[in-house]
Structure 1
Amino acid sequence: MIRIFPGRLFALLAGALLGGCSALSQPETVDTYLLPGGHFASAAAPAGADGSLRVTRPKAAGGLEGTRIAVLPQPDRLSFYKGARWSDAVPVLLRDRLIEALRAGGGIARLSSDDDNLRADRELGGNLRAFQSEYQAGQPQVLIRFDAQLIDTRSRAILASRRFEVSQAVQGRAVPEVVEAFGRASDDLALQVSGWVLRAGE
């Protein structure tokens, strides 16, 4: 018969508990992704281009306000890719992409963001309704839906509003391939919004 003394038993139990805690406390490996794209061809500002525009981060809800990369494996179930996140909050990523497209368009003399806290004649904001990948017939595709509003900052009146929706097929199923599709979709949407803002200011 094997005899285990109380002190020895305590040491064994403590070691087992510490080993279990060590295993449980291992941090999850998370890959951080920049939003690809954003390389727009620059255009010269038209003669007499004037005015100022402030671009604000859109309002978002339903899990789209953070840095996690959203996916709808089923129409009624929002989930997130494990071990992956964006380099910034989703509304900030979209705001910055819109600024890049507007700056490249060259039709606005003075452009700023809500981080700058500068005065502007007009403000571009809105609601981000979708920024996720969805499965259609077993194949993922990226969907971005943005309800844009162009506002007069003095009167706070809505000058124009429009819904923009862009979808982009994913060339594969891996997270990097999904991220690439997000980049293409966000570029497409930013160019559409930029053109709309410039036309609304004419």
Structure 2
Amino acid sequence: MSARRFPRSASSARRADIGTRMKRTFSAVALGLAAALMLPGCSMVGGSKNVTLYSPQLKIDAQASWPTVNWPLVVARPLSSDSLDSMQIAVRPQSDTLQVYQGAVWSDAVPDLVQSELVRAFEDSGKIVAVGRQSTGVRGDFVLMTDIRQFESVYREEGKPPTVVVSIQAKLLAHPNTRVLAMRRFDVEVPAASEEIPSVVAAFNAALTQVNGDIIGWTLATGQANVSAAKPKS
């Protein structure tokens, strides 16, 4: 495993992130300019280094088994550890070591990326009357809360490409009483075709597509089975 691929530890990345957050305004401007040209794998040149922004483009097909519902849903911003609440692409070269890839980042912090893709997939499914983030003012009968437990590539065997591991804990709450109706953890592993970053990102896309699809189907079915729990009592 070459050091050029992931030379920075997660703790170093967190220290760098603190400085980045102190300059959030300037970073937002820079990312805003990049977004105008953003495609999966769009490269930005900064000084002597090239940084590639990866923006997942997931295609989640609605399943016939998913119920069509007439209640609105709020998708909360996912929780995560500090090391995952970042644009860095995480890699675990050893079981007790978390590092990040050099020269490549996500187009947004991982929790925002996961939330955006969930909202978009719910909307595109045509299975729900309304869905949105908490900040959009959508008044949902249910709230989907998620906790990103793992979102990283993992090296398990010497000489072999890593496996992408995505693990997300989901809870469905009735609104406005915030009673937890159900919870479930969704785990997916997808082997990367090679150690190269584009191959690793492709494995992330495949894993997140499956996890988000599973979360959407579970949310629709669970919410529909608990419609009465979300209705205010007279």
**TM-score, scaled relative to structure 1:** 0.80
Identity fraction in percent? 32
- How far did 1:43 drift? 6.9
Q: Are the equivalent residues in 2 in contact too, given 1:40–1:100 (CA < 8 A)?
A: no
Query: Structure 1 regions of 5+ residues with no counterpart?
Result: 1-24
Residue matched to 2:135 = 115
Residues 42-72 of structure 1, C-alpha deviations (whole Å, 9 max, x = no match): 579x997311101112111141001000000
Q: Are the equivalent residues in 1 in contact too, given 2:51–2:104 (CA < 8 A)?
A: yes
Residue matched to 1:7 = none
Which of 196, 201, 205 is the equivalent residue of 1:174?
196
Q: Are the equivalent residues in 1 in contact too, given 2:88–2:100 (CA < 8 A)?
A: yes
Query: Structure 2 regions of 5+ residues with no counterpart?
Result: 1-45, 225-234
- How far did 1:126 drift? 1.9
Counterpart check, 1:143 vs 2:165: yes
Residue matched to 1:89 = 109
Separation in 2, partners of 1:137, 1:43: 35
Q: Are the equivalent residues in 2 in contact too, given 1:43–1:104 (CA < 8 A)?
A: no
Separation in 2, partners of 1:164, 1:146: 5
Equivalent position SS for 1:101 = helix
2:78 partner letter: P
Q: Are the equivalent residues in 2 in contact too, given 1:43–1:106 (CA < 8 A)?
A: no
Aligned-residue CA RMSD (Å): 2.1
Q: Are the equivalent residues in 1 in contact too, given 2:73–2:141 (CA < 8 A)?
A: yes
State the structure with more CA Rg. 1
Residue matched to 1:130 = 150
185-194 vs 104-113, which deviates more?
Answer: 104-113
The number of equivalent residue pairs is 176
The 3 A distance-change label for structure 1 pair 26 and 112 is closer
Q: Are the equivalent residues in 2 in contact too, given 1:98–1:194 (CA < 8 A)?
A: yes
- How far did 1:191 drift? 0.8
**TM-score, scaled relative to structure 2:** 0.70
Equivalent position SS for 2:90 = strand
Residue matched to 2:220 = 198
- How far did 1:27 drift? 5.1
